[in-house]
Amino acid sequence: MDTLFEVDPERAAYADRLRALVAPVAASAGAVVDDPVDLAVANALWAAFGDLDASGGLTHAQLAHACRDVCDADTFESRFRVFTALGMLERFFDKAHQTRYVFNPTSAAGLMVFDRLGQRGGVDELITLLDRTRADLAAGRASVAQVRVSLRTAQRMLTISADHLLRLVSGSPLSELVAQRRHHSHNELIGDVQRLDKQVTEQFPELDQVMVRLVQEAQRYVDAREQFVTRLLDEGAAVRDFSLLDPEEYLQTARTASREALGQVFGTVVVDPPTLWLDPAAVAQLVADFTPRAPTRRRPPRPADPPPGRDPLTRVAERTAQATQRRLLAAELHLQGGDEADLTSALRAAGWPAAAVMVADAVAASRDPELQFDVSMRDELIVDANGPVTHVTPVILTRPIVQTHSATTDDSAEPDADIQLAEVRADA
Amino acid sequence: MPEPTATAVGLARLRAAGVQARPAGAAYGAWHAASGRAGRRLVDVSRPGTAGRVALGWADGAEPVGGAHSGVERVSATPVLGLTFAAVLRACWADRSEHPFPGRLTTESRVLAAVASTGLMPPSTAEAAQGSVRHQKGALRRLTEAGYIEVDRPYIRLGTQVALWSEVQVAALRVIYQQLPSVTDDWFEPAAATAAPAADDADWAFELINDDDGLDAWEGW
Amino acid sequence: MTAGFRLALADLSPTRQGEVQAALAAVETADAPVPAAAFRALQDPTMRSALEGCLSEAGRVLLCLPGGYLSGYDDGVAERLARDGLGVLPPDDRAVLALVLLLCVAVPRSAGQVSGTSWLDAKPTSYLELDRSQIPNTRVRESVRRLRHCGLLRFGARKQILPGPQFARFTEATSDRLWEDLILLAAPSGVLADVIRRRRTARRNVPTTSTPSEPGSRTDPAAGEPKET
């Protein structure tokens, strides 16, 4: 069917259900609208009659006005013709001989059904029928003939639904089953049938055979539904399909579930303890990279292994390069073109933990063989109990003068008072 | 599904718990044999004077590898973690000709001072070191969780992961023994060796700094 | 037992034993799936079979994933460990991890924002979203830290939170169970939940003939719905 909304599978499915619903009374196969916009026109009219003061009816112009946001003028006129022809809008003449229209309550009932159909499907009607039958029996206002008809109707509904489910299970793609999962979610069905059974046996034992048949079909339907749900679960699990529930259901659970309920999920799952990669080779490498420099000779740390060439870790290499770049820029900012900068006041103003990050960056910059910076810390402590950073050691950032031969002792940096001089480590 | 064997369960427990009490009698032999069939090595990780413990190590020469050409991706430990561990290793490894495990005890304050001496952290004068101390607590806890050290306040010792190192692996560290971070000759153990108690709820703030320091390779995935 | 048709490690030459042991160390400890190209024992079927035998002796199994191989706990062995409380996360961490799965995987996949079948096909979440749960904020942060150390969570860009690489070590059966548990959590009283629970009970019991109907009742209680409350 070449309709406007083939692109939207939800609307297409709804249109299919509308056609199927009306089929019993349709004069021709083309009787049902293709586009739910047309249905929206009917709803708009119903709303107008229900909301406005329409006790005297509404004129054609008022009706057109009520639908102005829902459709264009041509669509309204064509729908208006159908509605009047079929009796949804009934015509009468007021005292001034002006044509007015009223809304047929039967059509209103139809609109309610269509609305419910969009949500719930046929089995819902069945449940309603069972409820009504039980209520009538309890109130003693049902005749044996009426109950017989209700039981028969319910049984047929169940038979057809069971067959439908079995066909879905054996031949349809998972997406179709998922689309209809809400139509078969009444877990009180057997209970309702059992309760009805008791009532009927008491009041109308002559309906025993009809009741037996109903119970059998109810069981058959429930068995078919079990297969339907089993297929949903098996295939859904295989592809971890989370559309068996709506996102709102999962989201609501995230907001409201208790710690205990949440804790059930991983209650029997075994995981490994935390690990770290600190095998001897890794430790040796780290130590080599971070051996403190002897004060008499400035030697850059041995560069780290290049990161492995595999894809995820080239991203790591990029991040390292970005971090280096960031530290370079930060250092240059501090230095403002000069060769030395006292970071102390910047640290004090930066607050916590920004000050720590600043120090870490400066130290890292000084360790980076690409960046020729030095960091030294004076052997003091500035305590400022009310400041943003309460305890600060003066930190000097310097750019050493580049030597053409190996570094001498005369770099512009102040002596690294804080690096423990006694800890001269001869290599190996 | 066939019932799992007792040894399979036992060896799996060793992975999940890191270490288990040494099984008694015939069970020990069964675990030992099963470890061999599993391509592994049952290692005694007991500390002298305490109840027997075992862990599951690797066949000689078949220890896990990492690094550029190993084909195995590893998340590197941050420098703070690595150096803290190196400091513990040095402090506990008294005789470099022996395997470091079990080694001797050391203290948190000594480890702190050793790491500070690398110049990685701000100076360790008393109050200024508060930040460093909390930083260190985070590193120590992480190292404990991963089985590289064991903390018994205020003492620290080497953990079972070290016990699993083969002689070949130990040899690699023996070479750079002198470069492992350690305290200076003039350092002394503070009288009341109580570092500032860690405010654990502030630890995570330092974790953030910790994790940004160096390569946090999880983020690249 | 199944040991019969699987080659034992000792049946291989010393060289090939070494290959198997090298691959073993890799799949048991790697932080990401190990590509088959990296280890001969992963490519050669005989050696791979011996590798599986080694793993099975230690209660482990070989998992074949899109990026390569990793090991995981054998399902039966894991059940025993969990029964003894070994290897099971503490309650807060379990709750936070479930929360992350709901927010990062269930919601976005149900809404069609993310496609894929692995737990790692996820949309990042944040502390802000996690704070909207029933778990106190400080406990959330502590759990996230511990779970990151375990590799079950990781930080993405801008410190957003995502499921971590250790999810790759879950067997199919474990992942299926987690998926069902999330449904049980979100819709505990629906038909899906009923069937899940019924199937789990059936699997736990030794399979026998179903219980016969009571005389006089027209419905078979074993095959029907839960009893009326």
Q: What is the pLDDT along chain A (428 residues), one digit of tens a residue?
A: 444 444 566 667 777 777 777 777 777 777 777 777 778 888 888 888 877 776 778 889 999 999 999 888 998 998 899 888 888 888 877 777 788 898 888 888 888 887 777 666 778 888 888 999 999 999 999 899 999 999 998 999 899 899 999 999 999 998 889 888 888 988 899 999 999 999 999 999 999 999 999 999 999 999 999 999 999 999 999 999 999 999 999 999 999 999 999 999 999 999 999 999 998 988 988 888 776 654 444 455 555 555 444 455 555 556 666 666 666 666 666 666 666 777 776 766 666 556 656 666 666 666 666 566 666 666 566 666 666 666 666 777 777 554 443 333 333 333 332 232 233 333 33
d(CA B9, CA C59): 6
Residues of C in contact with A241 (CB under 8 A): 109
**Partner A contacted by B221 (CB < 8 A):** yes
The β-bridge partners of A101 are: A58, A91
Contact at CB, B184 and A291, closer than 8 angstroms: no
Using the Cβ of C100 and the Cβ atoms of chain A, whether some distance falls under 8 Å is answered with: no
Residues of C in contact with A247 (CB under 8 A): 106-108, 110-111
Between positions 71 and 110 of C, the ones with CB within 8 A of B are: 73-78, 80-81, 84, 86-87
- Residues of A with CB below 8 A from C152's CB? 271
| Average predicted confidence (pLDDT) for chain C | 89
pLDDT value of position C99: 98
Q: Distance from CA of residue B211 to its chain's centroid?
A: 18
Residue type for position C171: T
Q: How far apart are CA A60 and CA C36, in angstroms?
A: 76
User: Residue A391 and residue B148: Cβ atoms within 8 Å?
Assistant: no
26-45 in chain C: CB under 8 A from chain B: 26, 28-32, 34-35, 37-39
> How many whole angstroms separate alpha carbon A417 and alpha carbon A395?
11
The residue among C58 and A292 whose pLDDT is bigger is C58
In terms of C-beta density within 10 A (0-12 exposed, 13-18 middle, 19 or more buried), how is residue C225 classed? buried
Determine whether the interchain pair B66/A281 forms a contact, defined as Cβ–Cβ distance below 8 Å: yes
Distance from CA of A292 to the nearest CA of B (A): 5
- Judged by a CB distance cut-off of 8 A, whether residue C114 touches chain A is no
Residue B140 burial (C-beta neighbours within 10 Å; 0-12, 13-18, 19+): buried
Instruction: Mark yes or no for CB contact B63/C25 under 8 Å.
Output: yes
Q: Which of A114, A94, A112 is nearest to A102 (CA)?
A: A94
Contact C54 B65 (CB under 8 A): no
Q: Are A184 and C190 in contact (CB under 8 A)?
A: no
Q: How far apart are CA A393 and CA B123, in angstroms?
A: 8
Residue A391 pairs in a beta bridge with A383
Q: What are A92's strand-pairing partners?
A: A100
Q: How many residue pairs bridge chain A and chain B with CB atoms within 8 Å of each other?
A: 166
Q: Do C8 and B218 touch (CB under 8 A)?
A: no
- A356, closest residue in chain B (CA to CA): B209
Q: How far is A365 from chain B (nearest CA, A)?
A: 11
Q: Chain C residues with CB inside 8 Å of B146's CB?
A: 149
Residue B9 contacts A, CB cutoff 8 Å: no
Q: Which residues of B touch A271 (CB under 8 A)?
A: 16
Q: Taking 60 as the threshold, does the pLDDT of residue B59 lie above it? A: yes
Summarised one tens digit per residue, pLDDT across range B158-190 is 999 999 999 999 998 999 999 999 988 788 877
| Cβ <8 Å between B16 and A272 | yes
Assess C186–A contact: CB distance below 8 Å, yes or no. yes
Q: Specify the higher pLDDT residue, A281 or C64.
A: C64
Q: pLDDT higher for B110 or A383?
A: B110
Interface test with B, best of C1, C21, C70 (most B CBs within 10 A): C21
- Interface size A-C, in CB pairs within 8 Å, comes to 200
DSSP letter (8 states) at residue A415:
P
Task: Check CB contact of A278 with chain C, cutoff 8 Å.
Answer: no
CA angle B161, B162, B166 (to 5 degrees): 105
C178 Cβ partners below 8 Å, 6+ apart?
A265, A266, A269, C101, C119, C170
Task: Write down the pLDDT at residue C63.
Answer: 98
Residues 6+ apart with CB under 8 A from C42: C23, C27, C34, C35, C36, C48, C51, C68, C69
- Which chains are within 8 Å of C by 3+ CB pairs? A, B
In sequence order, the β-bridge partners of residue A341 are: A397
Name the token pair of C209: 């003939």
Q: Does C142 touch chain A (CB under 8 A)?
A: no
| Adjacent-strand bridge partners of A382 | A392
Say which of B7, B16, B56 has its CB closest to residue C81.
Answer: B16
Residue C173 near chain A (CB below 8 Å)? no
Question: Nearest residue on chain B to A418, judged by CA atoms?
Answer: B123
C108 contact residues in A (CB cutoff 8 A): 247
- Say if B64 is an interface residue toward chain A (CB within 8 Å): yes
CB pair distance less than 8 Å for C81 and B64: no
CB contact under 8 A, A416 and B122: no
Global pTM?
A: 0.72
Query: What is the predicted pLDDT for the residue at A200?
Result: 93
Q: How far is CA A21 from CA A33, A105, A118, A335, in A?
A: 12, 19, 11, 79
Q: What is the ipTM of this complex?
A: 0.87
CA–chain centroid gap for A16, Å, is 28
Residues of C in contact with A274 (CB under 8 A): 146, 149-151
Higher pLDDT pick, A383 / B109: B109
| Residue with the two structure tokens 């005989």 | C46
Chain B within 8 Å of C20 (Cβ-Cβ)?
yes
**Nearest-by-Cβ selection for B39 from C20, C148, C151:** C20
| Percent of chain B topping pLDDT 90 | 53
pLDDT at B7 over 90: yes
Residue of chain B with shortest Cα separation from A314 = B220
Q: Which long-range contacts (CB under 8 A, 24 or more apart) does B183-192 make?
A: B183/B91, B183/B110, B183/B113, B183/B114, B183/B117, B184/A420, B184/A422, B184/A423, B184/B113, B184/B117, B185/A422, B186/A422, B187/B110, B187/B113, B189/B107, B189/B109, B189/B110, B190/B109
Alpha carbon separation from B140 to B85, B189, B195, C29, C118 (Å, rounded):
8, 19, 13, 22, 34
Report the b/e string of A164-186 with b at 16+ CB within 10 A. Answer: bbbebbeeeebeebebbbebbbb
**Of the candidate ranges A271-275, B72-76, C129-133, the one whose mean pLDDT is the lowest:** B72-76
Q: Which secondary-structure segment (H or E) carries B83? A: helix B79-92
Show the CA angle centred on residue C191, arms to residues A122 and C119, nearest 5°: 120
Name the residue with higher pLDDT: B111 or A14: B111
At residue B9, the 3 state secondary structure works out as helix
Q: Which residues of B touch A330 (CB under 8 A)?
A: none
Q: What is the DSSP letter of A279?
A: -
DSSP string, A88-121: SEEEEE-TT--EEEEE-HHHHHHHHHHHHHHHT-
Flag if A287 and B179 touch (Cβ within 8 Å).
yes
Instruction: Tell me how many degrees the CA angle C183-C185-C190 measures, rounded to the nearest 5.
Output: 60
- Residue A301 has a pLDDT of 56
DSSP E strands in C40-155: the ranges are: 60-65, 68-73, 153-155
CB contact C224 to A (< 8 Å): yes
DSSP B100-158: -SS---EEHHHHHHHHHTTTSSS---TTTHHHHHHHHHHHHHHHHHTTSEEEETTEEEE
Q: Are strands B155-158 and B149-152 parallel, antiparallel or unpaired?
A: antiparallel
Q: Which of B12, B204, B221 sits opposite C58 (nearest CB)?
A: B12
The region that residue B85 occupies, defined by phi over 0 for left and psi between -120 and 50 for alpha, beta otherwise, is alpha
Closest-approach residue (CA) in chain B for C72: B12
pLDDT value of position C219: 46
Select from B37, B43, B166, B219 the residue whose CB has the most chain C CBs within 10 Å, as the one to mutate to test that interface.
Answer: B37
The whole-angstrom distance between C214's CA and the closest CA on chain B is 33
> Are the C-beta atoms of B34 and B54 separated by less than 8 Å?
no
* Length, in residues, of chain C: 229
Chain B segment 114-153 residues within 8 A of A by beta carbon are 117-120, 122-123, 125, 127-128, 130-131, 142-143, 145-148
CB atoms within 10 A of CB A199: 17
- Chain A residues close to C196, C-beta within 8 Å: 233
Residues 160-219 in B contacting A (C-alpha not used; CB under 8 Å): 161, 165, 169-170, 172-173, 175-176, 178-182, 184-186, 205-206, 208-209, 212-213, 215, 217, 219
DSSP B183-214: --TT----SS--PPPP-HHHHHHHHHHHHHSS
What's the rounded Cα separation, in Å, for the pair C92 and C90?
6
C141 CB near a chain A CB, below 8 Å? no
- Residue C185 at interface with chain A, using a CB cutoff of 8 Å: yes
- C-alpha to C-alpha distance for A202 and A210, rounded to whole angstroms: 14
CB contact (8 A) between residue C151 and residue A275: yes
Identify the bridge partners of residue A99 per DSSP, sorted by sequence position: A93
Beta-bridge partners for A377: A395
